[in-house]
């Protein structure tokens, strides 16, 4: 009888441990008041920079295996801000971002390759996915870093992520850099600063 009870206890303990190990990944809603898609582009002999301040979407983070994580993000083109209202209106016009017809950029991850991860250092890796802008979809890969996790002043729990990439405007159908002596460059440097808020399991983010 004692041996039988011992076997049951061991089985129950194994099931409990398995449930902890196989815990569902956490879902984080991208906080668009604390997330930014910053950009830099050549202007004549220098560079100009700005941001898209309306970034939304979700992060699914598997803390037991980051390779099983994923990202879905949307960037509102109309939220472009270069700290100059007249220039912002010009950027939205058809000869540049054509925001009236293409007001959304999207990114859907397809692979997360983790290069380093430990309790004492931020997790780093390469994020690969499909990026759509101006009606054109391209697969891109870029490095990312999980800056950390922590409780916020409002009773929530957050994650911070930083990522960097460079895209060519011409790859997405923009021709502003094709003319000789064009004042605007083709290469766009992008820095993503993303803050996500952990969501209860019953909340579904689309």
pLDDT score at 204: 64
pLDDT score at 23: 63
Nearest Cα residue to 61 out of 177, 206, 202, 199: 199
pTM metric for this prediction? 0.84
**Domains of the chain as residue ranges with CATH:** 24-198 (2.40.128.110)
pLDDT score at 121: 60
CB atoms near residue 121 (< 10 Å)? 10
Gyration radius of the chain's alpha carbons: 22
Residues of the chain with pLDDT under 50: 2, 5-21
Nearest Cα residue to 78 out of 67, 93, 58: 93
pLDDT in tens, 82-129: 999 999 999 999 999 999 999 999 999 999 999 976 655 669 999 999
pLDDT score at 9: 46
pLDDT score at 63: 86
pLDDT score at 37: 98
């Amino acid at each position: 009888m004692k041996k039988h009870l011992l076997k049951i206890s061991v089985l129950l303990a194994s099931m409990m441990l398995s449930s902890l190990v196989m815990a569902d990944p956490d879902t984080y809603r991208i906080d668009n008041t604390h997330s930014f898609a910053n950009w830099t582009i050549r202007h004549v002999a220098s560079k100009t920079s700005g941001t898209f301040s309306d970034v939304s979407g979700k992060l699914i983070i598997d803390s037991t295996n980051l390779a099983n994580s994923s990202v879905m993000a949307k960037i509102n083109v109309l939220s472009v801000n270069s700290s100059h209202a007249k220039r912002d209106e010009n950027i939205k016009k058809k000869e540049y971002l054509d925001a009236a017809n293409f007001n959304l950029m999207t990114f859907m991850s397809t692979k997360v390759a983790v290069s380093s991860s430990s309790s004492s250092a931020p997790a780093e890796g390469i994020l690969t996915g499909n990026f759509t802008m101006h009606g054109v979809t391209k697969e891109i890969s870029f490095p990312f870093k999980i800056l950390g996790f922590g409780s916020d002043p409002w009773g929530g729990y957050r994650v911070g992520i930083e990522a960097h990439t460079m895209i060519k405007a011409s790859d997405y159908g923009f021709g502003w850099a094709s003319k000789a002596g064009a004042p605007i460059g083709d290469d766009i440097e992008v820095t993503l600063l993303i803050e996500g808020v952990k969501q209860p399991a019953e909340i579904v983010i689309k």
